[in-house]
Amino acid sequence: MYCLRAHLVMPIRTGAQIIWECLVHEGVQTVFGYPGGAILPTYDAMLDYPIHHVLVRHEQGATHMADGYARAGGGVGVAIATSGPGATNMVTGIATAMMDSSPMVCITGQVPSKMIGYDAFQETDISGIALPITKHSYLITAVEDIMPAIKEAFHLAKSGRPGPVLVDITKDAQQASIEWEWDPAPVKIRGYRANAPVVKTDLIKAEALIRAAKRPVILAGQGVIQSGATREVLAFAERIGSPIAMTLLGLGGVPASHRLNLGMMGMHGEAWVNHAIQEADLLLAFGMRFDDRVTGNLKTYAPTAKKIHIDVDASEINKNVAADVGIVGDLRETLKDLLDFIKPADHSAWVAHINSMKGDAAVRDIQALPDTGHLYAAHVINDIWRITEGKAVVVTDVGQHQMWEAQYYHHDSPRSLITSGGLGTMGFAVPAAIGAKMARPEAEVWAIVGDGGFQMTQAELSTAAQEGVKVNIAIINNGYLGMVRQWQEFFYDRRYAATPLRSPDFLKIADAHGLSGFRVESRGQVNDTVQRARAAEGTVIIDFRVEQEDSVYPMVPAGADLDAMIRRPDNSVLAETGADKN
């Protein structure tokens, strides 16, 4: 009798406890955050729950860590902050996650509901601020609404096209108590449909275009990774013998070593890839969104190609590039269905033609050149690739080093490259790498970061030290905001306004945190130092003093035709990419 009754009475929980109960039920093990007045009830309750909280040094760091955690591990990242400045500090990280479709739930404290609208201390309308940079946002003022909001937030963040969701919860809602029990029912939101069912007639139309194609190119984007479609994309490519071009965020979604993988497209893509796209008669866009950085001038983009566009987000179809066949749906499911229709084809002559275009870069093969004593970022990154056997999870910052990473580190597995592509957020690498390492403790994690970007969020070294996580940080130190300097070199008559950059002694910074630091000034030192860094305990910094005025080639100037690339001058000691050798 007694037991029966005990079952019927629901336990009393505060809003703060409900937040943690929900996170536990959502399978959350790690959260990244920073406390403050409006979120204090939630922090107080935290100690009673089996969730690891990582104390960051700036809330932007919390969001990037949650983002890196999500991208590396495939789950949802969670970041927590207080109201006002805590919440606004998250904005950059939320926008970064939005642009790159990274699943994240941000929980912020808000001033008590009675004080909203009165400019209370640390009141800011974060759900309003976050509105255009989240998939959805909530302002929760009543304890009963906490569970539904958090459940919906997780559902929205990870389903369909993933993205960040913000849940702003007033302090009084955190403090209030109700009788409460976890509701295991699946989330239903009447205005939200994660996936549309695939329309069979579209598949039939697609098949006809595929059958007619002589020069197909698959454009593989991050959708390949997010829908787990690597196998299906490869099966498709192999079935029709189609070459594959990668977007920056797609890298790793198809193994770089696969014979049909041409490499990266776009502004700093391989020359032969951009030429192949311009010559193609069919583009198969798989989970990519024709960003301006990959298309160049839309008016002259792939002029002879029909386009089949598969994306989970209907609003991407016909947004930048008109699709002859647009299919809205999960990429993996769609390809599985499509494969039923597709007959084998042979496009080896087309592939051979594309491969022959590699030749002009190959004569200037970087790897074949003798050591001239100079240290080039391309060498460093290619060496790190070789030494780590391509198996590391690499997190980059934004700038020249990011593009060199994409060109010289060859990714063979999904979720092995984490980079801020859409927003291009400097300061991303160090915190995102910490997050990635926490999601995948067994993985070797490298942050490849510029001297500029490193200084934007270097405070998170302290977080890494406190957590005892090991991230290998390669600072590609060129003494410049290099990518901006490159634009100034090409387009602003070499007027280096505000791009020369003085940096602190990075080894002392490492030392101040009790971390190891190394410096590399010539190519001969790279191998040994990288090995020592890998062996060292805890997070390490390597300060690579690379050539200062090197540029990333090829380059499609913003808005130019995709095949109007600035090529590395012929007399340069450097070839354009590490793949030149192959």
Ligand X SMILES: Cc1ncc(C[n+]2csc(CCOP(=O)(O)OP(=O)(O)O)c2C)c(N)n1
Residues classed as catalytic: 59, 121-122, 171, 483
Site membership for Mg ion, residue 450 (CB under 5 A): yes
By beta carbon distance, the residue nearest ligand X is 450
* Residue number, 193 or 391, with CB nearest to another protein: 193
| Tokens found for residue 273 | 């890839």
* Residue number, 321 or 471, with CB nearest to another protein: 321
Distance (Å, whole) CA 481 – CA 456 = 12
What is the DSSP pairing of strand 282-286 with strand 325-328?
A: unpaired
- Give the chain's length: 582
Site string for ligand X, 441-470 (x = CB under 6 A): ---------xxxx-----------------
Contact 406, 434 (CB under 8 A): no
Scanning 115-123, 326-334, 373-381, 473-481 for contacts with Mg ion by CB under 5 A, the matching segment is 473-481
Distance (Å, whole) CA 328 – CA 317 = 8
| Tokens found for residue 167 | 């849940």
Could you tell which of another protein, Mg ion, ligand X, none binds residue 227, using a CB distance below 5 to 8 A set by kind? none
* Residue number, 548 or 582, with CB nearest to Mg ion: 548
DSSP 49-66: SS-EEEE-SSHHHHHHHH
3-class secondary-structure state, position 474: strand
Terminal-to-terminal C-alpha distance of the chain: 76
Site membership for another protein, residue 199 (CB under 8 A): no
Could you tell which of another protein, ligand X, Mg ion, none binds residue 453, using a CB distance below 5 to 8 A set by kind? ligand X
Shortest approach of ligand X to residue 277 CB, angstroms?
A: 25
Q: b/e for 291-306, b at 16 or more Cβ within 10 A? A: bebbbbbeeebbeebb
Give the CA count within 13 Å in the CB-facing half-sphere of 544.
32
Shortest approach of another protein to residue 141 CB, angstroms?
A: 10
Site membership for another protein, residue 191 (CB under 8 A): yes
Shortest approach of ligand X to residue 81 CB, angstroms?
A: 19
* Residue number, 287 or 399, with CB nearest to another protein: 287
Report the residue from 51, 187, 189, 501 that binds another protein according to the rule CB under 8 A: 189
Contact 266, 274 (CB under 8 A): yes
Site membership for ligand X, residue 426 (CB under 6 A): yes
For residues 269-328, which are near ligand X according to CB under 6 A? Answer: none
Could you tell which of Mg ion, ligand X, another protein, none binds residue 313, using a CB distance below 5 to 8 A set by kind? another protein
Shortest approach of another protein to residue 95 CB, angstroms?
A: 12
Report the residue from 64, 136, 171, 437 that binds another protein according to the rule CB under 8 A: 136
Distance (Å, whole) CA 467 – CA 446 = 17
Scanning 2-10, 319-327, 355-363, 471-479 for contacts with Mg ion by CB under 5 A, the matching segment is 471-479
Cα dihedral 87, 90, 91, 96, rounded to 10, equals -160
| Tokens found for residue 281 | 């008669």
Report the residue from 74, 148, 424, 557 that binds ligand X according to the rule CB under 6 A: 424
Contact 77, 435 (CB under 8 A): yes
Report the residue from 11, 117, 121, 128 that binds another protein according to the rule CB under 8 A: 128
3-class secondary-structure state, position 582: coil
* Residue 482 host element (H or E): helix 482-491
- Residue type for position 250: G
Distance (Å, whole) CA 264 – CA 106 = 32
Report the residue from 304, 315, 548, 582 that binds another protein according to the rule CB under 8 A: 315
Could you tell which of another protein, Mg ion, ligand X, none binds residue 426, using a CB distance below 5 to 8 A set by kind? ligand X
For residues 141-170, which are near another protein according to CB under 8 A? Answer: 156
Cis peptide before 112 (omega within 30 of 0): no
Site membership for ligand X, residue 542 (CB under 6 A): no
* Residue 30 host element (H or E): strand 30-33
Beta strands in 136-213 (DSSP E): 136-140, 164-170, 177-179
Scanning 130-138, 341-349, 406-414, 539-547 for contacts with another protein by CB under 8 A, the matching segment is 130-138
Report the residue from 16, 23, 139, 254 that binds another protein according to the rule CB under 8 A: 139
Scanning 106-114, 404-412, 445-453, 555-563 for contacts with Mg ion by CB under 5 A, the matching segment is 445-453
Which spans of this chain sit near ligand X (rule: CB under 6 A)? 397-401, 424-427, 450-453, 476, 478, 480-484
Summarize as ranges the residues that interact with another protein (CB under 8 A): 127-128, 131-132, 135-136, 139, 156, 188-192, 313-315, 317-319, 322
Contacting residues toward Mg ion, per CB under 5 A: 450-452, 478, 480, 482
